[in-house]
Amino acid sequence: MSSPPTRSLADDFRGRGDDRLRRLLELRPDLLSPIPSDLTALATRSLTAPSIARALDSLDIWSLQVLESLAALDEPTNLKQVVTATCEAATSAIEFLVDLALVYHDQGELRMPRPVREALGTEPAGLGPRYGGDMESAISLLKDAPKESLAILERLCWGPPRGVVGDTAHPGSHLKWLIDHQILHVIDQTQVVLPHEIGLSLRGGKTFREFQVAAPILDGEILKRGDVDRAGALEASAFLIWIEELLDLLAAEPATALRSGGLGVRDLRRLASALDVEEPCAGFIAEAAYAIGLIGIQLDDQVMPTTAYDIWLAQEPSRRWQGIVEAWLDSSRVAGLVGAKDATSKSIAALGPELDRAAASSIRRHVLSLLNDVTPQAPNLESIVNVVAWQKPRKSAHNQRDLITWTLREAAWLGITGRGALTTFAKEVLSGGDSNSLVGALPPPVDHILIQGDHTAIAPGPLAPALLQEMMSMAKIESRGSATVFRFTPESIRHALDTGASAEEIQRFLATTSKTPVPQSLFYLVNDVARKHGRLRVGGGLAYLRCDDETLLAEAIKDRRLAKLNLRRLAPTILISEATLEETIKTLRTNGFSPVAEASDGGVLLQIPKARRATVKPRPPRMLVDATPPSPTLIDAALRALRAGDRASVAARTAPSLARTPSNPTSETVEALVAASKNGGTIWIGYADTDGGVSNRIVEPASIASGHLTAFDHGTGTLRRFAIHRITGVAEMDA
């Protein structure tokens, strides 16, 4: 009696119920792009190299060990043999592998499709190639093997099975014994290999020395939820301020993009210094703004804010924060690479084209998912790295640790985590909702400052936008946190005067804004700077200096620190400089003078920062993300299409009349359609498309009206209208 024919993967798919097929499409969403025509096409696509690679990448270490164990056993195998080679926990792992279609059932046995076996390599589980022949005799000789020969086998037993020797043509006595008895096979003059059968025997029938059934445990401090949210809210508030400050700096003094794209080292260092952060943090802030279209690069390579920045400023803080976080989660750009060297040993620039990494988004979401599972615990880096390495062993690239480290660092900067644990408002965003809890967690804007006796001012919360602009024009930020500390200096007061403010206006602003009395010494500082401000005028030539005080001009000529300006007297109250106007003013101010720029009409040239905006349309960065899980609606439609397509394929093979496109006289076609719409059921129609081609369709007629047939099309999974004059014929088929 002949044995039943071997089932294929497509046969296995046909035997699966809708729930099992739905599970497959959920686990392997790449199989739905586009929807296959039938189950045979689905099986074929599932065995393509890219699809298999994605499926293998989704396996954890334990599932991968079980799969490699299956590949190491003789096919067909069964559940009992797999459990013997591994452990009892393999049962559930095998069912998961069947769900993924990496393994399938055949008459109570287990089979692995050949493309999957090939994708695992030629030495699954670290076992060598199969040589066949009388391996039993070779294995029986092991009990009589010299001790030194057994030591050689011990080194090859658990893999890799190949070893390098001095010379296989003249081996040592212990190695020669193994080669002569066919226990080791010679590959070439310097390599030997331990055969699969002998290696498995030496392992006692087990495929791995240790089976990693359970994932490592995340280890870290458990915090209070309130403390986590408060810490995260402060970081979120600070990050929004960083974004505003950076974009205001680029509006006042745009950076120049490198020829290869991105911010140069000098510009990044300037921005980092102004924000009082490290350069990696400044690079990430720029990348976060770039990801949501707030930064644009002009055709003349000027890097500045876009008009979207003004719209962004008008939004509620929680909405602004959520937009940044969502873009960061989906972006394939890795800001942590800024400053690293690329393949040509050039430094990778922020906003440059070299920052895309396909694994970035999936790693971020995976790490945050782990934090979500243990919140409010704050796991340490090592435990997170170990868990990710167990869950995604095939994705454990050399830079995976760096990606995890950068993810945790950036999540802390953004306020996604507080003290290392996931915040409540971050959980809301990760689940697809709005960050509602952040609204109450963010400190409310304040409209006052507290001026101290040491010429500092404390903002006990985030300042209102208009108030922050005023403070930035006359004071420098000294420290940030839950309270921002500003410091008034001669240079900062001079900057306010340069923008057109008078001493009286500055003093009035300080008196009305501060809840504490303004120190008299601060008023003296403002008056002293204002008294010196503008006595010396610098205009264009290259540059000239004009002052009614001839003594001051004489002092400037004699000052050796100004020698590089090559000052020469042009008139009693005018000197000429060989440096540019900007350089002349900078040099004079550096050395204790307080000049102002003079316009052509003799008036003061105010240095009011311009709100520059990029005129080019922001180009959002590329998003290189993994395939997202399909919606239930899409899966249901795909299942209907697959079942219908499979029925059509079977019908074409089994019914000769349906192997070709149906063709009937018009009267018979109309009668058949009317009958089908009344009685229900499924029919086969030929339909002429607009391009002249004729295709076969499996439909369930619903109604006929106005020369059209309304029917459910199993091929597309939708309700469609078909023009009756384009229907070439109708054939019946079983439902």
In a domain, 622, yes or no: no
Domain boundary among 441, 466, 498: 441
Residue 349 and residue 263: Cα distance in Å, rounded?
6
Token pair in block for residue 70: 């299956």
Residue 400 and residue 363: Cα distance in Å, rounded?
8
**Where would I find the H helices in 218-337?**
225-252, 265-275, 279-291, 308-313, 317-330
Query: Residues 289, 389: one domain?
Result: yes
Report pTM.
0.72
In a domain, 613, yes or no: no
In a domain, 2, yes or no: no
Query: Residues 300, 409: one domain?
Result: yes
Q: Which amino acid is located at 26 in the chain? A: E
Strands (E), 185-248: 185-186, 191-193, 220-222
Distances (CA, A) of 116 to 51, 61, 119, 640: 10, 17, 5, 27
Q: Which amino acid is located at 581 in the chain? A: L
Nearest CA to 720 out of 691, 735, 698, 694 is that of 698
CATH number for the domain that contains residue 108? 1.10.10
Query: Residues 276, 368: one domain?
Result: yes
More confident residue, 46 or 35: 46
Domain count, the chain: 6
CATH number for the domain that contains residue 664? 2.30.30
Residue 615: Cβ within 10 Å count: 12
3-class DSSP state for residue 3?
Answer: coil
Does residue 57 carry a pLDDT above 80? yes
Q: Residues 251-265: pLDDT tens digits?
A: 888 888 888 888 989
Token pair in block for residue 59: 């396996």
Tell me which DSSP letter residue 357 carries. -
Query: Residues 513, 542: one domain?
Result: no
Residue 642 and residue 44: Cα distance in Å, rounded?
13
Token pair in block for residue 65: 């060990």
Query: Residues 455, 361: one domain?
Result: no
Nearest CA to 486 out of 505, 473, 502, 497 is that of 473
| 711 φ/ψ angles, rounded to the nearest 5 degrees | -150, 155
The helix/strand count (H/E) of the chain reads as 30, 26
Does residue 605 carry a pLDDT above 70? no
Domain boundary among 441, 460, 492: 441
In a domain, 466, yes or no: yes
Query: Residues 176, 84: one domain?
Result: no
pLDDT at 2: 47
Query: Residues 433, 582: one domain?
Result: no
Q: Residues 610-643: pLDDT tens digits?
A: 566 766 665 555 554 556 678 888 888 788 878 8
Tell me which DSSP letter residue 621 carries. P
Query: Residues 485, 560: one domain?
Result: no
Q: Are 574 and 552 in contact (CB under 8 A)?
A: no
Does residue 1 carry a pLDDT above 50? no
Query: Residues 425, 397: one domain?
Result: yes
Percentage of the chain exceeding pLDDT 90: 31
pLDDT at 287: 94
Query: Residues 375, 420: one domain?
Result: yes
Query: Residues 412, 506: one domain?
Result: no
Does residue 523 carry a pLDDT above 80? yes
Domain boundary among 72, 101, 126: 126
In a domain, 642, yes or no: no
Does residue 440 carry a pLDDT above 70? yes
Q: Residues 264-294: pLDDT tens digits?
A: 899 999 999 988 899 999 999 999 999 998 9
Query: Residues 113, 152: one domain?
Result: no
pLDDT at 650: 65
Name residues whose C-beta falls within 8 Å of residue 290's C-beta, 6 or more positions apart in sequence: 351, 621
In a domain, 617, yes or no: no
| Residue the block writes with tokens 């190299």 | 49
What helix, strand, coil percent values describe the chain, rounded to 5? 50, 15, 35
Confidence of residue 683 (pLDDT cuts 50, 70, 90): confident
In a domain, 61, yes or no: yes
In a domain, 615, yes or no: no
Distances (CA, A) of 607 to 305, 363, 495, 545, 612: 20, 46, 8, 18, 14
More confident residue, 196 or 133: 196
Residue 71 and residue 116: Cα distance in Å, rounded?
9
Residue 80 and residue 285: Cα distance in Å, rounded?
56
How high is the mean pLDDT of the chain?
85
Of 37-41, 187-191, 665-669, 694-698, the range with the lowest mean pLDDT is 694-698
Host domain of residue 198: 135-202
